Every structure is written in C-alpha cells, then in structure tokens.
Amino acid sequence: MNENGLLAALRALPLHPGARGLADDAAVLDLGGETLILTHDVMVEGVHWLPGQDMADVAWKLLAVNLSDLAAKGAEPVGVLLGYQLGEGDAPFLRGLREGLEAFQVALLGGDTVAAAGQRSFGLTAIGRATHTPVPARSGASVGDALFLAGPVGAAMLGFEAVRDATGADSLAFRRPSPRLAEGQALAPLVSAMMDVSDGLLLDAQRMAEASGMTICIDSSAVPFAGPAARKAEAMRWGDDYALLFTAAADSRLPVAAERIGRVVGRMGSPLLVDEVPAREPLGYRHG
C-alpha cells in the first residue's frame, strides 16, 4: 500500500471533523474558546537525514518540520511530544532539541522512548493555538486568486548535496530549516489557502489545487531560486524547503516578503499547469 492508498483507507475510518478529511497539514480542534492545531511528523534515517549526520541537526530538523505545519495554519506553538528511539548520538540529539526549543520558544510536554535495532526513526507531535479563525486550509483557493511563495526553493537540495559530498558549501537550509511562524501568523487573516512546501513546490501546489477544486498555474520564471538556472526545474520538485505557499486576492498588500508565482483558474483538465502546460511527473517526493 502506498501513501495515497493508505490515506484512502484511513479516510474510511471514523474521523473527527477536525481531521479535515486527512487532506491538510494539521488537525484543527475547537475546545471551548480556544482553537488548537495538532500535527505529527516522522523522520527516518536514510530518508530525511543521511547516516552519520550530526544528531543535533536531526533533532532540530524534527522539531522544525512540525513547527512548519503550525506556521501554515498561522498558529502559535504551545508544546511538543517526542517519540524517541534510543541509540548512538543521544546526547547530541538532546542538545539539538534544546537549541531548537529555545530558538522557537516552545516547550517539551512529554512523549515516549523505545529501544529497537535497525534503521532509526523519530516522531514528534506539535501542538499550537490558532491566532486567527477560520484557520487557513489547503482548500479555499478561488478563481482569480494569485499564488504566492514566501521563501525560495532549492536551498535544501543544494544543502543536502553539500552534506552528502562533504563539499563544505552552505548546508544550513537542509540541516536546520527555519519554520516561518511569524510569516504564517501575519498571513493567516489574508489568505484563502495556505500550506508549507515540504514535498516539492509542484506536488504541494497540485495538492492545494485538488483540495480547492481548482487549477493552479505556475510561472516558473517567477519562482525564487538561488541556484544555477539549469537546476530550477529539479528544485521545484525536490522539497524540504518549508516555504509558505498561499493564495490571496491579486491586489493584496502582503505583510511579509513573498513572490507572486502564479494564479488560480477554474478546474481544467489538469489541476496544475507550469508555464501553461500540464506539469509532468514526478512532481515531488511521495512515500511508497
């Protein structure tokens, strides 16, 4: 069963309304006068980090990718729960976790540990509170909206290669991404749809289009990318960037730095057009 097959099976189970049909970055739970945002991500050795990487960086990244989901909801972090597999590098992992918690001003609530042999994996649940309601969703993009990207693509791809090849080049974007929490909170009242870019700009844009029942058109020349032009198409599919992808009225006065990279039109044959033609697979990273 691949990722899409599993999600389809899970959607047949009893779902809480806050699960948003398992088609969003996070769950949204109304409790009294508060709206909580809950998200959970897992990272696996050899998939999300390279064997031999500094475990302090692994801990930071595990925290950051979950907080990025909160950023896409315009949420303020409340705390996190850690699922930890004991093994080599425990002390550096704890150091990196402390550094991340302090940097993003979020506290550890608890979690669980397990001892197991083989490939290591870690999970983390992040809990936040909404700073604006209704809470932004992947759905909501409308005909006439513009598509914006807060943050570039490709820096993580180049950083991964720097770590893999030990070139000494800048690898910070891959090792220690920074969730755009302040930007997400500032944008939440203005957007019609928003999500973070984790699996590749094109794949995530297609997910937004499908959730909204629209077609998204991307102008690749407008997509911010700091690397060599010949690798831009690859960078738009690579992922791990944790930029914020959102739609808003074309004449919006945005409170954050963002590039207008496309537009939303009524549903056509394909949910995603790049430079006016249907986007070709692969669009990004898919599990399974």
Would you state the pLDDT for residue 47? 87
Cα dist from 99 to 57, 60, 181, 234, whole Å: 10, 7, 17, 32
Per-residue pLDDT of the chain (288 residues; tens, 9 = 90+): 887 888 788 888 889 999 898 889 899 999 988 999 999 999 999 889 999 999 999 999 999 999 999 999 999 999 999 999 999 999 999 999 999 999 999 999 999 999 988 889 999 999 999 999 999 999 999 999 999 999 999 999 999 999 999 999 999 999 999 999 999 999 999 999 999 999 999 999 999 999 999 999 999 999 999 899 999 999 999 999 999 999 999 999 999 999 999 999 999 989 999 999 999 989 998 766
Whole-model pTM: value is 0.95
Would you state the pLDDT for residue 288? 62
Sheet-wide strand order for 107-115: 27-31, 34-44, 121-130, 75-86, 107-115
Burial class (CB in 10 A: 0-12, 13-18, 19+), 233: middle
Domains detected in the chain: 3-130 (3.30.1330.10), 146-278 (3.90.650.10)
Q: How far apart are CA 197 and CA 162, in angstroms?
A: 21
